[in-house]
Amino acid sequence: MNRREFLRNSAVWGASIALGNVVSSCAQSPIQPAMMEGLLKDVKIIDAHAHPDQFYQLGPQRVDHTSTLGAMRAIGMVASSFAAVGDLGFLSRGSVPGNEYLNTQSQLKKAESMMKSGQIKWVLKASDVPHKIGSGDPPGAILSIEGGDPLEGNP
């Protein structure tokens, strides 16, 4: 089970429990696809930590194909964190040139170019989170940075 499947399943079960004893009734009558659509109708799915379309690269052996804009649209995820990797130089064991500050700036600029091309929409406050995602709607992007390494000791 990958992260997206986990989130989808968690949302379904959480909604079932919130609606009261739906889980116990499933043993007697299985949930039909139409029922599941109703359960998720008003649920906004947001991934709190991801690297959509992996806007950093450590090498072809470490590409995450589950965290993509296409996968977000497929499950109706309205927004995701776009986490820049603050210690990319360390993780790459020196194969990524530059210091942690410049590497992080480069990743954030890639996210910015995705926003400028209309692939994503910045989420700066709660009201910026899209209500739903359609085929032409850009998902929301919440920028984040893993760790304080890019500060390089200078807050």
Q: What is the pLDDT of residues 11-42, one digit of tens each?
A: 776 666 666 544 444 444 444 555 555 566 67
Helix spans in the chain (H):
3-18, 22-26, 33-40, 69-75, 88-91, 100-116
Q: What's the pLDDT score for residue 28?
A: 42
pLDDT of 64-121, one tens digit each?
A: 666 788 888 888 889 999 888 888 777 777 777 778 888 888 888 988 999 999 999 9
Q: In Å, how far from its chain's centre is CA 75?
A: 11
pLDDT grade, residue 142 (50/70/90)? very high
Beta pairing, strands 77-85 & 121-122? unpaired
Q: What's the pLDDT score for residue 23?
A: 41
Q: What's the pLDDT score for residue 117?
A: 93
Q: What's the pLDDT score for residue 29?
A: 44
Q: Which two tokens stand for residue 83?
A: 């986490």
pLDDT grade, residue 1 (50/70/90)? low
| Mean pLDDT, the chain, integer | 76
pLDDT at 57 over 80: no
More confident call, 9 vs 57:
9
72, 132 contact by CB (below 8 A): no
Distance CA(135)–CA(71), nearest Å, equals: 12
Q: What's the pLDDT score for residue 100?
A: 86
More confident call, 60 vs 93:
93
Q: What's the pLDDT score for residue 90?
A: 77
